[in-house]
Amino acid sequence: MKAKDTLPELFEVEYLAEQYRDILHVEKLAEVNGARFQFPVYGFSLGNQDPKAPVFGLFGGVHGLERIGTHVLLSFLKTLLFRMSWETEWQEFFKHCRLVTIPIINPLGMALTRRGNGNNVDLMRNSPLNATGKLIPLVSGQTYTNLLPWYRGDLSHPEKETLAVQEFCRKHFFQSQRVITLDLHSGFGLRDRLWYPWSTSSTPFPLEPEVLKLKRLLEQTYPYHVYTVEHQSLNYSNHGDLWDWIYQDYASQNPNGKFLPLTLEMGSWLWVKKNPWQFFSWQGLFNPVKKHRYARTMRRHNHLLELLLKASLHHETWSV
C-alpha cells in the first residue's frame, strides 16, 4: 500500500504548506521511519515571528488512532488560511500574534492505525515525569512491554517525536509571556472535555485562576457551549504526560509567563453509543464513522478554537 493511501492527512499537510507558502513558515522537525514507511513531522507557524509575541498552539495526532483530532485541526487551519486571503482583519490580527501547530505528531502510528508510535511507545506517557493520584493499572502508563498499549518507552531517552514537540515549544513559547495551547484527542467519555493540568498529579495547577477566568470567558461568550472544563486528574492521572513536562520546562525558564496547556478530549463513546457497530472497529472507537456525525464534529469545535486564538492575543483584557 502506498504512503498516500495509508496517511492521506500528511498529503493534506504538505498541500497546505505548498498552497500557502507565502504566509506559512514550515519546519521539518523530525523524520520517523519503520514498517517500510518514512514520514516527516512538520511544524507550521503563522503570523508574528517575534519570539516574544503571544502564541496559540494547536497539536494533533499524538495518538495515531485518534485521526479525528488532526482532521478538526486541519479543517480549522484551512478555513483560517482561506479567510486570511480575503479578510484584512485576519491579516492585521496576525501582525500581533503567532499561531503554531504540529498537525500530526505521530504519523507512523496514524499510518499503522495504532495508538503508539513506530516503537509502540505512547507519546503521552513518554516524558520522565512520574505521576501520583488516581492511577489505573497499565492505562496510566506501563514500563513492562511495548506489546501492550500505554508503554512509556525508555524514559532516559524520550522518543524522537517527544523531543521534536519539546524543541518546537521551546523555540516558539519560551520567550513569550502569553501562550495557550490545545492538544486534540478522542476516546474518553460521553462528553467533550476541556482538560487543564495536571495529569501527573491532583495538586492544583499554579495557573488555575487563569484557567477559571478563561472558562468564564468561554461561558459568557458561548453560554450554550458543550464542554466540561476540569482538572485532568479528576478522571485519572497518568505517568509521563507530555504537557505537564513542557509546562514545567517553560515555567523554569519563564517564571512570570502565562502558559495554559489545554487538552480537548472529544467524547467518542457517544458516537459508539449511537452507532454500536463502531465498537467492532479500532478506528470506530476513536472516530465518528457516520457521515453526518463526522461533519458535525468538524463544525463543532471551530468556535472554541477561534476563541482560544483570540484569547491568546487579548490576554490582558480577560485575565484581569
Q: Name the residues that contact Zn ion, by CB under 5 A.
A: 63, 66, 185
Closest distance to Zn ion from the beta carbon of 145 (Å)? 20
Please tell me what DSSP assigns to residue 207.
T
Least Cβ distance, residue 243 to Zn ion (angstroms): 12
Closer CB to Zn ion, residue 47 or residue 103?
A: 103
**In angstroms, what is the minimal distance from the CB of 63 to Zn ion?**
4
Q: 295-301 — which CB contacts under 8 Å span 24+ positions?
A: 297/68, 297/72, 297/266, 298/71, 298/72, 298/75, 300/192, 300/226, 301/72, 301/76, 301/192, 301/264, 301/266
CA distances from 313 to 54, 95, 122 (A): 6, 11, 33
Which is nearer to Zn ion, 65 or 80 (by Cβ)?
65
The x, y and z cell numbers of residue 167, run together, are 524543541
Greatest extent of the chain over all pairs of C-alpha atoms, in Å: 54
DSSP state of 202: S
Question: At 296, which helix (H) or strand (E)?
Answer: helix 291-300
Please state, as a whole number, how many other Cβ atoms lie within 10 Å of the Cβ of residue 294. 14
Nearer to Zn ion by Cβ, of 201 and 238: the residue is 238
Looking at beta carbons only, is 63 or 239 nearer to Zn ion? 63
Nearer to Zn ion, 23 or 234 (CB): 234
Least separation, in Å, of the C-beta of 143 and Zn ion? 19
The Cα-based distances of 184 to 82, 143, 151, 175 in angstroms read 22, 25, 20, 24
Residue nearest to Zn ion (CB): 185
CA dist 34 → 19, 40, 118, 192 (Å): 29, 12, 6, 33
User: Would you say 74 or 81 has its CB closer to Zn ion?
Assistant: 74
The nearest distance, CB 187 to Zn ion, in angstroms, is 6
Shortest approach of Zn ion to residue 265 CB, angstroms?
7
Q: Give residue 292's identity as a one-letter amino acid code.
A: H
- CA–CA separation, 52 and 70 (whole Å): 27
User: Between 232 and 312, whose beta carbon lies closer to Zn ion?
Assistant: 232
Min CB(241)–Zn ion separation in Å = 11
| Whether 209 contacts 260, CB under 8 Å | no
